[in-house]
Structure 1
């Protein structure tokens, strides 16, 4: 007999309240599916946490080979609350016939809105002006004249689901949008009104560079000293994706030297950001703790998407947003998917 669907313990605060608010778990109950929070808050999912469960919804924990050590009845689906999966060992999950899902439908608008927020905040020097007022330096406000978004060139690193939504949000501002994404079909970019170009052109032509790519071996330190040296002196860098895509030491040098005008960062090479980081003392940098997109909209969007993935698997349907697509063709996965509904509801 199956155990209930598991929800990772990191969703709860010290008082047992869900830190994200409503994440749509009532849809499981409406579908007649039992669920429970895992008993321990662990850095990675453990064998005891996943054994015998039809699915696990998780946010912070990693998924490694240790997660499956000795497991005889793994979940059919591990549903991540979010779009990143760099801490999930996909080959190991596939080898164990476990589908891993993410929530691009839930994060799409919250993250694109967050990116637009960071663009505007950086161009308007919001951080510096906030600090001037708090320090009682009202008379220095003319030193931080901002720049309007209208008519600027926005360079996107990555033209996926969320970047596409940002393109739509930028349209009223009359911006020119260019993008570097070697995996984006040219016809798709053309339909969006976006010109695909090389990474060097993104650096040289953009007034704002926005990092929205997935962290991979190819994108690690894609934004490096060479890239930053080619940017306009008045340009800004925005990163709402993953910290290691940007060489942080090179960025600090570029900000100190005036190679670029500013940055707005929600993510960092090492998180949490050290309190002695040089970034913290810079007036031309806006910093947020990997949470700029965290809103009630994201909570319910991500949660609802993860819940749907679990319900689909239990009701013998392949979930929509599976990132290890190879698992869908495995005979063992298909056999487990077929019998899942009767097992869980028995």
Structure 2
């Protein structure tokens, strides 16, 4: 009887969102071509991870559940790469992985268009109060007064925080709307701004001049609560704020106060500090807030591209190559070697 020879490498997906980002089905075949097996799990606690990934060469996590902690990473002696199947990688202990010689990669290109589109949808919905007008109509109310306040997009100013792939795509998207685009991003030069049609300014200037602000930076120690009490005190009155990045970039209590006192007219939020929002959150009772449940990356194309990128990165790792999208390049000087 023929027995298949075990594959020499192992790639493990430890968690994924089954509603939007289940595996495609082609992953096992793709990875087998480079000598790697493919296993999938939906783990709910860090303590479960070593049980399934102790002998894995590559560990992948699709959700933002913080499963790859320092304690877990210490128990993965064969791991050479951790992949956050998404753009943000704040759910992986970056510092611990680097200390252990493990590459951390993300998949930043899979949902660029989708998130930029969703940011624009939230901006338009917030500006034109689509959600509350729709809700009133469904309640039998012809409440035309709920259409104010608003303003015209043409001639207004959009401020973008972070003009990487997604922020830059949004900047390009709005060219046809005849808006002035400002950007704050301390890691790029005006040359990048010129590419996407944005003028780089300080954060303070962006806050003071922007009619609308859309957030597209990663969540790091530096960006945690980047918009807080002091920043909301500086904003141009009547601001519309959009966040499709990470909830903790915005100090939620400060935002709620700014929404209550009218300094912020409206907000479109795909992400919040706590997900899901607690039932007693004031945001749920505000009709000038449009909420979506962290789904801006969603599309069939994005799901397909995500798993293609996972296979590409994992395949490079097990074949001894440095993959694309290493977010901790300092690790390359002391990569873990497996005998």
Do both proteins adopt the same fold according to a TM-score greater than 0.5, normalized to the shorter chain? Answer: yes
C-alpha change, 1:281 and 1:11, in structure 2 (3 Å) is closer
Give the counterpart of 1:286 among 283, 290, 295: 290
Give the counterpart of 1:22 among 4, 24, 49: 24
Note if contact 1:47-1:66 (Cα within 8 Å) is conserved in structure 2: no
Q: CA separation in 1, counterparts of 2:265 and 2:236?
A: 8
Q: CA separation in 1, counterparts of 2:224 and 2:312?
A: 32
- Counterpart position of 2:71: 66
Q: CA separation in 2, counterparts of 1:299 and 1:112?
A: 16
Matches within 5 A, 1:89-128: 89-128=93-132
- Counterpart position of 2:254: 250
C-alpha change, 1:3 and 1:31, in structure 2 (3 Å) is closer
Q: CA separation in 1, counterparts of 2:288 and 2:117?
A: 21
Give the counterpart of 1:135 among 132, 135, 139: 139
Cα shift at 1:32? 5.4
C-alpha change, 1:21 and 1:88, in structure 2 (3 Å) is closer
- Counterpart position of 2:12: 6
Note if contact 2:14-2:60 (Cα within 8 Å) is conserved in structure 1: yes
Q: CA separation in 2, counterparts of 1:95 and 1:263?
A: 39
C-alpha change, 1:202 and 1:24, in structure 2 (3 Å) is farther
- Counterpart position of 2:3: none
C-alpha change, 1:284 and 1:329, in structure 2 (3 Å) is same
The structure that is helix-richer by fraction is 1
Note if contact 1:110-1:297 (Cα within 8 Å) is conserved in structure 2: no
- Counterpart position of 2:44: 42
SS in 2 for 1:279: helix
Cα shift at 1:27? 3.1
SS in 2 for 1:118: helix
Q: CA separation in 2, counterparts of 1:293 and 1:260?
A: 25
Note if contact 2:70-2:96 (Cα within 8 Å) is conserved in structure 1: yes
Q: CA separation in 1, counterparts of 2:115 and 2:106?
A: 14
Note if contact 2:226-2:250 (Cα within 8 Å) is conserved in structure 1: yes
Q: Deviations over 1:240-271 (max 9, x none)?
A: 11111111111111111111210011111122
5+ residue gaps, structure 1 = 340-346
C-alpha change, 1:288 and 1:109, in structure 2 (3 Å) is same
**Alignment length (residue pairs):** 328
Matches within 5 A, 1:83-94: 83-94=87-98
Q: CA separation in 2, counterparts of 1:252 and 1:98?
A: 40
Q: CA separation in 2, counterparts of 1:257 and 1:155?
A: 21
Compute the RMSD of aligned alpha carbons. Answer: 2.2
Note if contact 2:16-2:22 (Cα within 8 Å) is conserved in structure 1: no
C-alpha change, 1:55 and 1:219, in structure 2 (3 Å) is same
Q: CA separation in 2, counterparts of 1:130 and 1:282?
A: 14
Cα shift at 1:28? 2.6
Q: Deviations over 1:253-309 (max 9, x none)?
A: 111111121001111112211111111111111011111332212212222222211
Note if contact 2:106-2:326 (Cα within 8 Å) is conserved in structure 1: yes
C-alpha change, 1:153 and 1:289, in structure 2 (3 Å) is same
Q: Deviations over 1:210-238 (max 9, x none)?
A: 11111122212221222222323332011
Note if contact 1:24-1:307 (Cα within 8 Å) is conserved in structure 2: no
Q: CA separation in 1, counterparts of 2:23 and 2:57?
A: 24
Q: CA separation in 1, counterparts of 2:26 and 2:259?
A: 42
- Counterpart position of 1:54: 57
| Larger mean Cα displacement after TM superposition, 29-38 or 253-262 | 29-38
